[in-house]
Amino acid sequence: MKIQRLLIALTIANFGFLVFLLAQIRPIQVSAAPPVLRGRALEIIDDRGRIRASIKIEPADQLVTMPSGKSYPETVMLRLSDSNGRPAVKLGGSHQGGGIGFVGDTDSTYVVWKAEGTESSLKLTNKDGREQVIKP
């Protein structure tokens, strides 16, 4: 009889503990999504693991010279690549200006639209090397 009373007492104690725990549960509140995603770079990959889009900061490089003769500045770059991994669209910005480039079927077919310093231009180049530069 003592064991039966002990088991009944433990059952009642467990039931009381369960009621206490259930009373503490509050409805789960859905928190708002964080307003900002922060990081040093962002890469989007395809099913094969190849980078198809990226946003990152390219460091300044004193050894590389821009067509204007200035050294390559720190630049924020967005690249969209084709299925072969070749950049098809580039969008960049730095303290010197910004630009966007589109590459065609080959690397020799492209469009570059930029504003650098006080100058702006649109450069169109065909596969055969013919180019046209439009400046205001």
pLDDT of residue 62: 86
pLDDT value for 1: 64
Classify strands 75-81 and 87-94 as parallel, antiparallel or unpaired. antiparallel
Task: Provide the b/e sequence for 81-116 (b: ≥16 CB within 10 Å).
Answer: beeeeebbebebebebbebebbbeeeeeebebebeb
Residues of the chain with pLDDT under 50: none
Domain boundaries, the chain: 41-134
What is the value of pTM for the model shown?
Answer: 0.67
Q: Angle at the Cα of 130 (from 126 to 136), degrees rounded to 5?
A: 95
pLDDT given for residue 30 in this prediction: 67
The tens digit of pLDDT for each residue in 74-111 reads 999 999 998 888 889 999 999 889 999 999 887 788 99
Taking CA atoms, 104 is separated from 61, 66, 121, in Å, by 27, 22, 19
Phi and psi torsions of 52, nearest 5°:
-105, -25
